[in-house]
Amino acid sequence: MNWFVFAARNLLRNRRRSAVTILAAAFGFAAVNVFGGFTAYMFDNLRDGFIYAGGNGHLQVYRTGYKENATTDPGGYLVPGDVYDRLTHLPEKDDRILLVAGTMELTGQLDAGDRANIFVAKAFQPSHRDVFFKESKTLGRGASFLDTGDSLSDENPNEIGIAHGVERILGLGLESDVALMARTVDGQINVVDAVVRNTFASPSSELDEKLIVLPLKLAQDLVQTEGVGRIAILLKHRHDLPAVEQALREFLEAEGGGYEVKRWDEESELYQLTKKMFNMIFGIVFFILIVIVSMSVMNTMAMAIIERTTEIGTLRALGLRRAGVIQLFAMEGTLIGIGGAMAGLLLSVIVWATIKVQAPMWTPPTIGRKVPLEIQLVPEYLLMTSVFLIVLTLAAAILPARKASSQGIVEALGHV
């Protein structure tokens, strides 16, 4: 027999009470980890949604002032064609970079013969978009927003995609001929012809009646430039981000400066806000865990201590030091913590496995279509919660045990 066996047997004295306490700890543990696991999954989805599905890449490069002036003076803040050209050759020299994809945002008027409406367009090189989708891990390979029709291709630069709202209000369909009208970088009005190749669901209802996508080449023809608006840089591995960011800054400095290099997390407002919100909720869940577990353990320990007052007196009379009494109850608290962490781990795995098997479908706000819900089992979270839970139960046991250890031996012995 050693002190741990003694402590364990003491917990078995009141099995029901110990079990309830351990269960409370286990539920708290599971709540934190299931919620944390869902949060981790959410963050991954938001991140990949932004980087891959949104075609934004890990890093974005644009001219200083582009964001602020893109609507009023789109031509004035483009990355010049020659700089873009040199950037596109970076992946050949730097194998951390997978793709350098120029994009352009522009507005103008979409003419469908008898009807017309303003458009908001996103332009990109179609083959680039394929790379983004192919690389996406969380969204499944080849996923795209296409609802009907074929994807755009580099070979047919006059083909465009339109949102359902545009299709509806302009009475368009696949293969419809349209004309795009916009101001060139010199301020002239220019028109190009295009054919509707596909239609898609707009990620936001506000843009539904205006949003179109077109090949970068067509957009450049329309506004008469070789330049691009924003450049998305896609990396092979996320962990290279800081190094590549630095390298890019140096590269652009050598190009004369005046550029912004932004990481995906700086650019994604949705990610930032969601992360803030979820971190807050996570903090609240965690706080509730702390309160419930510590109160429940303290209560259990306080009751055990009252019930065992005479025994504490006996042990002290036999020569156990005050610290020995505290240690004994600390061990009992620790065992509750270990039990709670193990039961909580089991509970978390059960919830995780159930969700994995059932795979309930849901629509994340960023993707705009149904995907199977997942939660992740994050080893760091599991480890941290385990350690935290054990420390917490230990502390919650020590508090009442300290009091018990310092009471008079004679009084304790006389306790009934």
Partner 1 sequence: MSLVNVLSARKTYPLGDTWIEALRGVDLTIAEGEFVAVWGPSGSGKSTLCHLIGVIDQPTAGRVEFDGVDVLSLSDDARSDLRNRKIGFVFQNFNLVPVLSALENVQLPLQMLGVTDSGSRKLALEMLEKVGLADHASHWPKKLSGGQRQRVAIARALINRPVVIVADEPTANLDSENAQRIIDLMRSLNREFRTSFVFSTHDERLLASVDRKVHLQDGLITEDVRVTPA
2 binds partner 1 (CB under 8 A): yes
* 115-124 and 211-215 beta bridge pairing: parallel
Candidates 8-16, 90-98, 155-163, 263-271: pick the segment binding partner 1 (CB under 8 A).
8-16
387 binds partner 1, rule: CB under 8 A: no
Taking CB under 8 A as the criterion, the residue among 236, 349, 413, 415 binding partner 1 is 413
Q: Could you say whether residue 322 binds partner 1 (CB under 8 A)?
A: yes
DSSP code at position 174: T
Which residue in the set 109, 176, 314, 407 belongs to the binding site for partner 1 (CB under 8 A)?
314
* Shortest Å, Cβ 406 to partner 1: 9
Residues 100, 91: contact at Cβ < 8 Å?
A: yes
Stretch that binds partner 1, among 72-80, 109-117, 266-274, 318-326 (CB under 8 A): 318-326
Q: Is residue 275 at the binding interface for partner 1, with CB under 8 A as the rule?
A: no
Given candidates 189, 191, 306, 323, which one binds partner 1 under the rule CB under 8 A?
323
Burial class from Cβ neighbours inside 10 Å (0-12, 13-18, 19+) for residue 359 reads: exposed
Q: Is 12 in the site for partner 1 (CB under 8 A)?
A: yes
User: Interface residues for partner 1 in 13-52 (CB under 8 A)?
Assistant: 13
Q: What is the DSSP string of 225-277?
A: -S-BSEEEEEES-GGGHHHHHHHHHHHHHHTTS-EEEEEHHHH-HHHHHHHHH
Rounded Cα distance, 145 and 147, in Å: 6
Q: Look up residue 348 and give its two tokens.
A: 């978390």
For tokens 């009252």, what's the residue? 306
Q: With binding defined as CB under 8 A, does residue 327 bind partner 1?
A: no
403 in contact with partner 1 (CB under 8 A): no
Given the rule CB under 8 A, which of 23-31, 216-224, 252-260, 405-413 is the region that contacts partner 1? 405-413
Q: Round to whole Å and give the CA distance between 364 and 386.
A: 30
Question: Is 315 an interacting residue with respect to partner 1 (CB under 8 A)?
Answer: yes
Cβ neighbours of residue 195 under 8 Å, at least 6 residues apart? 158, 159, 160, 175, 176, 177, 178
Which residue in the set 140, 142, 258, 324 belongs to the binding site for partner 1 (CB under 8 A)?
324
- Give the interface with partner 1 as residue ranges (CB under 8 A): 1-3, 6, 9-10, 12-13, 310-311, 314-324, 408-410, 413
